[in-house]
Every structure is written in C-alpha cells, then in structure tokens.
Chain A
Amino acid sequence: MDFEPKILGIACNWCTYTGADLAGTTRLKYPQNVRTVRVMCSSRINPSFIIRAFQLGADGVLVGGCHPGDCHYGTGNLYARRKLAVTKKILEFAGMEPKRFRVEWISASEGKKYAEVVEEFTNDVKALGPQTKFKIRKD
C-alpha cells in the first residue's frame, strides 16, 4: 500500500479555516491527509506546537493564516510570520527536512488555493516518506 502521510494542520479561524470550509462548500476534491486544529489566530501558535506535532508522529505540519496585513486582529499574523520563520530554521538546524513544515497565507475566499496547497504539500510529504527523526515511540 502507498504511504499515506499524517499531516497536522493548524488554521486560523477567520481566514484559512474559513477558506477550507469554502473548499468544501464548493465541493473541491483534495487529499484527506491533513487533520486540522482550529485556533483563533495564527499568532496563537506556539513554536512548541510544531515540535510537539512532529514528536506525536506527524509526517508534516501545515500552518495557515490570513494574508499579512489582513489579520482579523490587525497584526497577529505578522508576529506569527516571524515566529514561524524562526521555527523553520530551528527545525532545519535539528535535521528536519524543510519540506515537512509549511506556512501558507490563505484567505477566506481562497478555497481553491487551500485545496491546491493541501494537495501539493501532501505530495511533497509523501515523497519524503515517514517522519521518524522527531517521533517519540510509545512503548
């Protein structure tokens, strides 16, 4: 059987989560490997969430927020952007393949973009195979 990656999504309530809903309302079809946690704002995302997701066995992590400048809370995603850029560097430093972590700005009207990003990211992660570097084994 093909390797089906498990991807953790973290999406902000106002843009990306709504955009993902729009992909559904317009009945777009895309791979179902992403399981999404909804947070109010991408700025809520603590870098430790990302690391924890990999520890829990996520093969990839996809974060979605509003376009910079369009944050529902004004400036939240600008902080998120910096914080997540640093997180990505740390992950790379620790030996994680950079393609396993992706941050995308997807607005509430971009259902199509959401579906495309998920499809592309799923394929990227699939090509990398299972993530074992950070995964903590339960014994």
Chain B
Amino acid sequence: MSRIGVFVCHCGLNIAKTVRVSELAEFARTLPDVVVAEDYKFMCSTPGQELIQNDIRKHNLDRVIVAACSPLMHERTFRKVIENAGLNQYLLSIVNVREQDSWVTEDEDVATTKAKALINGAVFRARLLQPLVSRFIDVNPDVMVVGGGIAGIQAALELADTGKKVYLVERSPTIGGHMAQFDKTFPTLDCSACILTPKMDAVLQSSNIELLTYCEVEEVKGFVGNFDIKIRQKARYVDHDKCNACLACTEKCPGRGVSEWDEGLVKRKAIYIPFPQAVPQKPVIDRENCTFFKKGKCRLCEKVCEQEAIDFEQKDTFREVKVGAVILATGYDLMDTKPLIQYGYGKLPGVHHALELERLFNSAGPTSGKVVMRDGKTEPQSIAILHCIGSRDKNNHEYCSRVCCMYSLKFAHLLKEKTHGDVYQLYIDMRAPGKGYEEFYNRLVEEDVKFIRGKAARVTDKTDNPDHAGKLIVEVEDTLTSQFVTIPVDMVVLSPAMKPRQDAKDMARLFNLSTDKYGFFMERHPKLAPLSTMTDGVFIAGACQSPKDIPDSVSQGTGAAAEALTIVVKDKMELEAATAIVNSAACCGCQNCVRVCPYGAPMFNYEKNVSEINEALCKGCGLCAASCPASAIITRHFTNDQVMAEMEGLMEF
C-alpha cells in the first residue's frame, strides 16, 4: 500500500483556464492509495513547495504526483522539493497537464478528461516507483570553446580569468570572427578593431588558454563532466613552433587565393596570414592555390624562411582533448544573395552585400577605407541600402535578422561621412530595440538620409530615361504614400539574412544538439535556459543560436562561461540514477546487450556466464532492456512493470 499525494497546479490561468483543476483534485482523491490531493495557484512557488512538503510530513506520504508543466521544465525543481522533505527524489511523478494538455486545446471537457487519464496513469506508475541512489562521478575541470569570434573569445577569457584551463578551437587560421571585418560598430561608432584586437591579444597572452586555430572538432565522446573530444589540426605546412612570424615568405609567394577576410574583393597570397592583426601572427599555406602543390615546383617560401619552418610534408594531425564542459560559439553565415536574381548581386557590379561594404569602410581593407565602386576609383554619388534581403521573407528566411536595421543606419552615417552622396534607406519596418539604438535612428533622420518605407522589389540597369543611363534603378513601393518609386543610384548595398553556418547540422550531430527549423542551435528553454542545450554540459553563445549583435553575443559569451563554470567548479557531479541493472538469475548469456549498447556499459562475465552493467557508463536509455530476450535487464525508473502500469492507468479513461 502506497500513500500518494497528488498536487495540481493552476499555473495562474495557464492550466486552470482550460482544465477544471479543483475537479481534478477531487477526482484524484477518489483514486486508490491517494491519501491527499490539493490544487494551488503556483505549485513551483515557495508557498506551493511548502504545501507539498507539509503534506508529505502531515500525511506521511511516500509517493508524490505533481500535475503541472512538462517534466522537462520543473522535474528537477520538484525532485528537490520532495528530497528536502525527506523523500527519495525518484518517488516523484510529473503529470504534464500544461504543454501537452491545457495549451493544446480550448475544450474544457476534453482537457479535463485527458488530465484525469494522465493522473490515473501517474498513480498507477507511482505505486511501483522505487527509491534510487544517485551516482557521483569525477569532473574534468577544463572547458572547450568552439569558435573564436567575439562570443567565443569572451567566453574563453572569462573562464581563463577564473583560473580554468580553456581550449579555444577555431577553424580558420585566426580568431576574431566576423567582428574583425567590421570598421565601426553601432550605435556608438567605436572602432571595431580597437575593442576587439586587445581581446584577441589577451587570448594569446593568457597562460590558461590553449589556442587551437586551424582546427576542427572531429569526434565527440563521453558526456557532461567527462567529454573526450578529438580535434583535427589541419596541415598548415608551416611549423608554428619554428616560425618567428617575420612573414618574409608571404612577400615572396607568387600564388594567389581569394581573401576571405576581404570578402573576395581582393586576392591574398597562397601563404598568408588572414589580416595584419591576426592572432596568431603566423602564416598557413592554402594548398589549393600554392604553386608548389599545383605544379610541383616553386618552394620560394621555403628558400626565404631562415627558420626552416616551411614543411610541405606536413599532414593533418589529431589529438584527444578531455574537458568537463563545452561552449559552442560557431557564429553565422551571411546569406548568399546571388539566387535572389531580382537584386542583381553578382551580375550588376554596382550591387554589394553588407560585409563587402564593411571592408570598403575599413582602413585595413582593400581600398584603405575609401568607398569606391568596383573599378577601385569612382566614388558613388548616390547609394541605396536595401533592408531585409532574405530576412522577414517567407520564401527565404521568415525570421528577422535583428542587426540589419542598425548596421544599415551605421552604413548611412559612414557613407555620409565618406562620400557626401545621397543615401537612401529602403526598409520594411525600422527596428531599433536596444540601448541607444532609437537615439541613433533619430540622429540619422537628422543627417539628411532619405528613408523610404518599402521593400525593394528589383534592381536593374535597364531604363528608358536617358538621365538614368549607366545608373542602377531601384524599384520600390513607398508604402507610406502608396506610390511606386524608381530611384537611380550608383551603388546598391544589400543587407542579407544572417543564417546558420553551412555545417551547423553536422556540428549539431557531433554534440547531439537539436536545431530549430532554420538550423540554428536549439536552447534548452527559450526563456529560462537560453544558453543551455538538451545535451548536459554543452552550452551555446552568440549567433549560432539566432541572429545577434555584438553586445548580445558578448553577454552570451560571459553567460555561457558562467554556465560552464557551474559544472567544472565541482570536483564531483551527480548523475541520473535511472540506469540499467541485470537480474543475473534470469540472464541467458546471449550478450545482445553487450552488442547493442553504444556506451560499452554491459560487460560479459565469462566466469558466471552472465552480463553485468557498469553503472558509471550507463546512460539509462533502455535499449539493452528492450533487446534482452530473457527480460533480465531492468531499466530503473522505466521498468517494464512501471511503463505497463502507466499504460493501464492511461487507458482506463
């Protein structure tokens, strides 16, 4: 005989609006073994928790059922509640009457009936619940940060500052990310390099950060507290231990590749550092464009290198890194606007995308900070900036990319400063919801920038008007005057959507993350756990989760560092006790479990001719139990009896 308490939460009106909560409590009281059932406005609040704890003591309860939100939301909360009242935390059952009941129907009768069935199922299951003892494992104190953009740099620096060892993995030859490409940042217009490069240098100087540039994550094993991560060090063909960064090699190199950092506006050498302030200041050889790799002779770099650091024989190498927690800050890709043929990018030379313009502004860019057309000398006399290219567009990306309005305003300001030309902003809505952002917009309105409310429909170089010959014609409906407008300009700048990295799905697979429908990494909870993921010990920061500006990315970097710390500051951590065990009397020795387990937890004991499960390795998925022909394996907390009892309870209603 169990003594069960049932606690029904109203969740304000979230549940109580569609589920008749008092009727539910009344119903629960009629169920066998239920000694007390109550309903309360907010069960997760302090008075709610006290109500449960008082009832446990008063009625000597040995099982607790909470009908509230999803167990993914508050199972941990209520486990703590009953544990603090002296009950084993596994003697709890959560009934999901919010996410999977009150929120998904408007019909009170339907919602209440379903809730009754769910509670009945939980009562059936609760009777069979067993107390379980938590396991503790050692925690590796180190952290890995993947991605060396501003979010990743921030996270790495914060962690290093607390004395933790950090591996910062970056796949390109330098850290810095997209922020390194920018000239100024909105809304304060401070120089991007001036605020970023000191941080990049701090990474290099920090004795706690091991910088792994030109590296990629190859394989992830293990779990929270003890990840085993295999890193591929891509061949640089330059021995960085020997290289003294004199860069004589880059001067002599005859090979040419496209400069990624300058968005393809210019060429760089085949042996190169991405940009003058790159960290580390040591070159790599781009094999695709290297004359020696292409034609079999050259080796000029080798000849000029006094350190004998060039090594054409270098191969990719692999290393295993052990860490307790991981932060992913892998950033975003800019949408390729070529497929949007109506805007002419790639066909009409006067059409640029936003990052190209950033490079034109930048004093370290291809034009030393002069805004000129692609011919390299003509200054544009009129420029149109087209917002929402591929964003807020159901044919492409439905979401708002969040930063484009603000950087487009920044562009307008800088264009006014550098060209004295006419600047047009073609926007759908002006979105400026940040500190100082609205003020920045107001300032731009004063700066004689022409705002046209409407999304550009087309950019063309065809016109019947002789005055417009040689110009780009932007066609747009001004939605404030309901008029069709054509604007002749010299230069068009597209503000394309920020989208997930091309290989975000592969990364998600490696770390076992979910992605949202666009491919951005999914957070554990959109409000309460925005930096955590469904994989314990793996955190996300920056634009890999959704489009973000620099302040948000930096905040998230710091936040993710704090989240990772909550794991790696502990020597030991608690693991789920719901693991599998073998009933050796029933084991037939077929070794199915040994074959199917992805963690190698079941081992066969040849002396006793039975399988045994190593609890430290078991993750509690239950695959072995369902694969055991003798039903000798018991997945604790999800035993056959418990699952079937719950089913029976559910089907009674």
Contacts and interface: CB of A to CB of B under 8 A. Distances in A.
Interface of A: 6, 8, 13-15, 17-18, 20-25, 27-30, 32, 35-41, 43-46, 48-49, 52-53, 56-58, 69-70, 72-76, 79-80, 83, 107-110, 115
B367 interface: no
A86 to B, nearest CB: 12
A25 to B, nearest CB: 6
A66 to B, nearest CB: 9
B306 interface: no
A60 to B, nearest CB: 11
Interface string B613-653: 00000011111011100000001001010011011101101
28 contacts: A6-B651, A21-B99, A24-B98, A24-B104, A29-B106, A32-B111, A35-B650, A35-B653, A36-B96, A37-B646, A38-B71, A40-B621, A40-B638, A41-B623, A43-B623, A43-B626, A44-B635, A44-B638, A46-B640, A52-B647, A56-B648, A56-B651, A74-B598, A79-B623, A79-B627, A80-B626, A108-B534, A115-B104
B532 to A, nearest CB: 13
B381 interface: no
Interface of B: 70-73, 96, 98-101, 103-107, 110-111, 113-114, 117-118, 121, 509, 512, 514-517, 522, 526, 534-535, 578, 596, 598-599, 619-623, 625-627, 635, 638, 640, 643-644, 646-648, 650-651, 653
Question: Max chain A CB contacts within 10 Å: which of B100, B620, B646?
Answer: B100
A41 B110 contact: no
Question: Max chain A CB contacts within 10 Å: which of B103, B117, B578, B620?
Answer: B103
For the complex of A and B, list the 9 residue pairs with the smallest distance between their C-beta atoms, beginning with the closest: A44-B622, A24-B99, A43-B623, A24-B103, A41-B621, A108-B514, A35-B650, A21-B99, A56-B651
Contacts of A13: 72
A39 B646 CA distance: 11
Given A21-B99, A39-B622, A43-B622, A32 B651 contact: no
Contacts of A74: 598
A32 B643 contact: no
A14 B524 CA distance: 11
Nearest to B635: A44
B379 to A, nearest CB: 47
Contact of A109 (B99, B517, B644): B517
Contacts of B643: 37, 39, 49
A11 to B, nearest CB: 9
A123 to B, nearest CB: 16
A104 to B, nearest CB: 16
Nearest to A50: B647
Contacts of B104: 23-24, 27-30, 32, 115
A87 B118 CA distance: 26
A115 B100 CA distance: 10
Given A6-B651, A79-B596, A21 B100 contact: yes
Nearest to A14: B534
A43 B99 CA distance: 24
Contacts of B96: 21, 36
A17 B75 CA distance: 14
A69 B506 CA distance: 11
A76 B623 contact: yes
Nearest to B626: A46
Nearest to B580: A44
A44 B623 contact: yes
A107 to B, nearest CB: 6
Contacts of B101: 24, 32
A29 B319 CA distance: 50
Nearest to B515: A109
Nearest to B578: A40
A73 B646 contact: no
A35 B117 contact: yes
A38 B75 CA distance: 13
Contact of B121 (A37, A43, A72, A115): A37
Given A23-B99, A73-B619, A108-B522, 19 more contacts: A8-B647, A21-B96, A24-B70, A25-B526, A29-B105, A37-B647, A43-B623, A44-B621, A44-B626, A46-B626, A48-B640, A49-B647, A58-B651, A72-B535, A72-B621, A73-B599, A79-B623, A79-B626, A83-B626
A46 B105 contact: no
Contacts of A8: 647, 650-651
A37 B101 CA distance: 14
Contact of A32 (B105, B535, B598): B105
Given A14-B534, A32-B110, A56-B648, A21 B623 contact: no
A49 B623 contact: no
A57 B649 CA distance: 11
Nearest to A118: B104
A36 B517 CA distance: 24
B394 to A, nearest CB: 15
A76 B598 contact: yes
B626 A45 contact: yes
Contacts of B515: 109
Nearest to B598: A74
B647 A56 contact: yes
B191 to A, nearest CB: 39
Nearest to B623: A43
A21 B117 CA distance: 18
Nearest to B576: A40
A26 to B, nearest CB: 9
A28 B105 CA distance: 8
Contacts of A56: 647-648, 651
Contacts of B650: 8, 35, 37
Nearest to B115: A32
A29 B626 CA distance: 33
Contact of B644 (A52, A58, A73, A83): A52
